[in-house]
A and B are shown apart, each in its own frame.
Chain A
């Protein structure tokens, strides 16, 4: 136990220096080094190196977390602040599954659980995560064994069954925070119900951590969480500049800290650096792509396994994704968190996440993002295995066209599973969509 604690502490403290050296030595050829005359992107973001460092450190320290500190596996929309205040190391299976998808491991992981009877229609993240649990395969070395599983139904109902399966496998308690769906505005009773569950969570998690919540630590975590969301919002707002200093595809990668390290100093330090770099690029007129002619909104999760080719084909034709509902969702709700009323404000913030809100809100959100960013088109990723995000997109598409004059494309794919991708047909639709702007 003491050894584990020392290892965990050492990695957490010494890791940044070590990783920084390692990343300089073993620098993989990325966008920067691959640049040629016909390269469609702008210069790569310097912050990218720091991003790799802090995310690598997050997973590296995780290898030594179990036995050293309490470990919780949590859903992306879970109110993580009470856990951080209790000293939990938080693991995000969704973020880990996205890493698996980028590394193209999902077909193999999914096949392992499909053989156990799980449907291919189930969320690609859930299949990847359960596949990791079944096969022990992970691109991050090792995930720490959870002491507690935490899921909040504010992003989908799938997480409930997914985490139940994990609870069954790991034989650990599952803490569920139930989020009533928000039609219009969150009702007072729903906010109260959610806040009550947060108090219960603090008790359950405190029992596992073996201590009571330190109010000061909670207030500090809540403050950091709010600050992190606002900093991420500033980074996204930088994307409105013309040309946009980065692309929406960059933002999909750079959102990892606000998802997996929300409520930590590392997260906020990172976004200060990123914001400053983006603002510097704006002042120098440096764009995310070389020749930005048209600006687009992206709706739904990214197609993780096709990010590079998709971003290249858009950039080659002068199209830049300058905003996305997915990246912006992490900036919107978190800003509501307020240290003056931790439970009440967390209830408001976590009930109001994008996927827990109705279609009229989503439509107005998309219209606002388009207007703010000067986007004249939108790609709506119809995500085969993320039903809550994809339902209603045909209506959203129609209304974006008729009410906001935004050109739209519904692109069928899957955020994690490349088997749902049809290169020829998707490429064809994308080409026709781009031609319609000329």
Chain B
């Protein structure tokens, strides 16, 4: 294994990620924290934690990318495509459900972005949707999939607007619906919203998922069901953007 070659930082809206990679793009060290408004301090903390040699080039992405002292800054769309391709080695459709937006990227050979679409100006169909509503139901993140798995009769949640869905869930609880069934219904609602961004999946196309929401197996299952295509999770899904940024700094 060759030594450290570049650093990738993904300063996202909910989490801050950083990776140290070698020349082949293998992750040597990683750092992940909830996003801190004192971004510069967080970046310094990340660099310390990665123990990168001084002068290692940095690539940055994410909403806070312009505040990172980096040789190269790129959008998450380009970085997720590059990062995902380096891990999967396959073109396909990449779905990144992030905290603030959801991106669907058509990834071509070599990890090039052929086309992309994003959710519109609201949090419907983003990670925030689940986060807000599950907080309302007092379900910790790590319990989500278990709750969904226990559902026997999912309750349809019709609102995809985060604010309206929150009040809809409150009324479902008041009606006596099981929390497990509501959780499953929420996943279906989010998957349906994401699937509408994906549109038609051409026959033979692979669908990949990256971003923090990909760690939730219930969401992967719901999206697979909605698209009628198996969805594969890119290894270390939360680090994919940072990895793409590191690869960009390498080149």
Binding site for B on A (CB under 8 A): 401, 407-408, 410, 412, 422, 424-425, 428-429, 431-432, 435-436
Q: Across the interface, do A435 and B74 meet the contact criterion of CB distance under 8 Å?
A: yes
The answer to the question of B50 belonging to the interface, with a C-beta cut-off of 8 Å to chain A, is no
- Of A412, A428, A436, most buried by chain B (CB within 10 Å of CB) is A436
The answer to the question of B75 belonging to the interface, with a C-beta cut-off of 8 Å to chain A, is yes
Interface residues of B in 97-114 (CB under 8 A from A): 101, 112-114
Query: What is the distance, in angstroms, from B191's C-beta to the closest C-beta of chain A?
Result: 21
The answer to the question of B78 belonging to the interface, with a C-beta cut-off of 8 Å to chain A, is yes
Q: Across the interface, do A425 and B113 meet the contact criterion of CB distance under 8 Å?
A: no
Q: Which of A407, A412, A422, A432 contacts B78 (CB 8 A)?
A: A432
Q: Which of A401, A410, A425, A435 contacts B101 (CB 8 A)?
A: A425
Cα distance A8–B78 when bound, in Å? 59
Question: Closest residue of chain B to A422, judged by CB?
Answer: B121
Q: Across the interface, do A401 and B74 meet the contact criterion of CB distance under 8 Å?
A: no
Cβ proximity bits B56-89 to A, threshold 8 Å, 1 near / 0 not:
0000000100000000001111100000000000
Query: What is the distance, in angstroms, from B5's C-beta to the closest C-beta of chain A?
Result: 21
Cα distance A408–B106 when bound, in Å? 13
List 22 A–B pairs whose Cβ atoms lie within 8 Å, in order of A's numbering: A401-B115, A408-B115, A410-B117, A412-B120, A422-B121, A425-B118, A425-B121, A428-B75, A428-B118, A429-B118, A431-B75, A432-B76, A432-B77, A432-B78, A432-B113, A432-B116, A435-B75, A436-B77, A436-B113, A436-B114, A436-B115, A436-B116
Q: Across the interface, do A435 and B113 meet the contact criterion of CB distance under 8 Å?
A: yes
Query: What is the distance, in angstroms, from A388's C-beta to the closest C-beta of chain B?
Result: 20
Cα distance A425–B63 when bound, in Å? 10
Binding site for A on B (CB under 8 A): 63, 74-78, 101, 112-118, 120-121
Cα distance A435–B112 when bound, in Å? 10
Question: Closest residue of chain B to A401, judged by CB?
Answer: B115
- Of B74, B75, B116, most buried by chain A (CB within 10 Å of CB) is B75
The A interface, classified by DSSP as helix, strand, loop or mixed, is helix
- Chain A residues with CB below 8 A from B75, complex form: 428, 431-432, 435
Question: Closest residue of chain B to A420, judged by CB?
Answer: B121
Q: Across the interface, do A435 and B77 meet the contact criterion of CB distance under 8 Å?
A: yes
Cα distance A424–B12 when bound, in Å? 13
Cα distance A410–B77 when bound, in Å? 15
Cα distance A27–B72 when bound, in Å? 39
Cα distance A407–B108 when bound, in Å? 14
- Chain A residues with CB below 8 A from B116, complex form: 432, 436
- Chain B residues with CB below 8 A from A429, complex form: 118
- The total of interchain contacts (Cβ-Cβ below 8 angstroms) comes to 36
- Chain B residues with CB below 8 A from A401, complex form: 115
- Chain A residues with CB below 8 A from B74, complex form: 431, 435
Question: Closest residue of chain A to B121, judged by CB?
Answer: A422
Question: Closest residue of chain A to B248, judged by CB?
Answer: A435
Cα distance A407–B112 when bound, in Å? 13
- Of A401, A407, A408, A432, most buried by chain B (CB within 10 Å of CB) is A432
- Please name 16 further chain A to chain B contacts, defined as beta carbons within 8 Å, in addition to the given A425-B101, A428-B118, A436-B77, sorted by A numbering: A401-B115, A407-B115, A408-B115, A410-B117, A412-B120, A412-B121, A425-B121, A428-B63, A428-B75, A429-B118, A432-B113, A432-B116, A435-B74, A435-B75, A436-B114, A436-B116
Query: What is the distance, in angstroms, from A121's C-beta to the closest C-beta of chain B?
Result: 15
Query: What is the distance, in angstroms, from B177's C-beta to the closest C-beta of chain A?
Result: 34
- Chain A residues with CB below 8 A from B112, complex form: 436
- Chain B residues with CB below 8 A from A431, complex form: 74-75
Cα distance A42–B18 when bound, in Å? 40
Query: What is the distance, in angstroms, from B50's C-beta to the closest C-beta of chain A?
Result: 25
Question: Closest residue of chain B to A431, judged by CB?
Answer: B75
Q: Across the interface, do B78 and A436 meet the contact criterion of CB distance under 8 Å?
A: yes
Question: Closest residue of chain B to A438, judged by CB?
Answer: B78
- Chain B residues with CB below 8 A from A435, complex form: 74-75, 77-78, 113
Query: What is the distance, in angstroms, from A96's C-beta to the closest C-beta of chain B?
Result: 29
- Chain A residues with CB below 8 A from B76, complex form: 432
Cα distance A166–B133 when bound, in Å? 47
- Chain B residues with CB below 8 A from A407, complex form: 115
Question: Closest residue of chain A to B13, judged by CB?
Answer: A424
Cα distance A147–B109 when bound, in Å? 64
Q: Which of A410, A422, A424 contacts B63 (CB 8 A)?
A: A424
Cα distance A436–B113 when bound, in Å? 6
Question: Closest residue of chain A to B63, judged by CB?
Answer: A424
Question: Closest residue of chain B to A426, judged by CB?
Answer: B121
Top 8 A-B residue pairs of the complex, sorted by shortest distance between their CB atoms: A432-B77, A432-B75, A436-B113, A435-B78, A431-B75, A422-B121, A435-B74, A425-B121
Query: What is the distance, in angstroms, from A419's C-beta to the closest C-beta of chain B?
Result: 11
Cα distance A425–B119 when bound, in Å? 10
Question: Closest residue of chain A to B73, judged by CB?
Answer: A431
Cα distance A424–B62 when bound, in Å? 11
Query: What is the distance, in angstroms, from B150's C-beta to the closest C-beta of chain A?
Result: 37
Cα distance A429–B113 when bound, in Å? 13
- Chain B residues with CB below 8 A from A425, complex form: 101, 118, 121
Query: What is the distance, in angstroms, from B201's C-beta to the closest C-beta of chain A?
Result: 15
- Chain B residues with CB below 8 A from A432, complex form: 75-78, 113, 116
Cα distance A424–B121 when bound, in Å? 10
- Chain B residues with CB below 8 A from A410, complex form: 117
Cα distance A408–B115 when bound, in Å? 8
Query: What is the distance, in angstroms, from B72's C-beta to the closest C-beta of chain A?
Result: 11
Cα distance A432–B121 when bound, in Å? 16
Query: What is the distance, in angstroms, from A432's C-beta to the closest C-beta of chain B?
Result: 4
Question: Closest residue of chain A to B199, judged by CB?
Answer: A398
Query: What is the distance, in angstroms, from A30's C-beta to the closest C-beta of chain B?
Result: 28
Question: Closest residue of chain A to B113, judged by CB?
Answer: A436
Query: What is the distance, in angstroms, from A404's C-beta to the closest C-beta of chain B?
Result: 14
Query: What is the distance, in angstroms, from B93's C-beta to the closest C-beta of chain A?
Result: 15
- Chain A residues with CB below 8 A from B113, complex form: 432, 435-436
- Chain A residues with CB below 8 A from B78, complex form: 432, 435-436
Question: Closest residue of chain B to A436, judged by CB?
Answer: B113
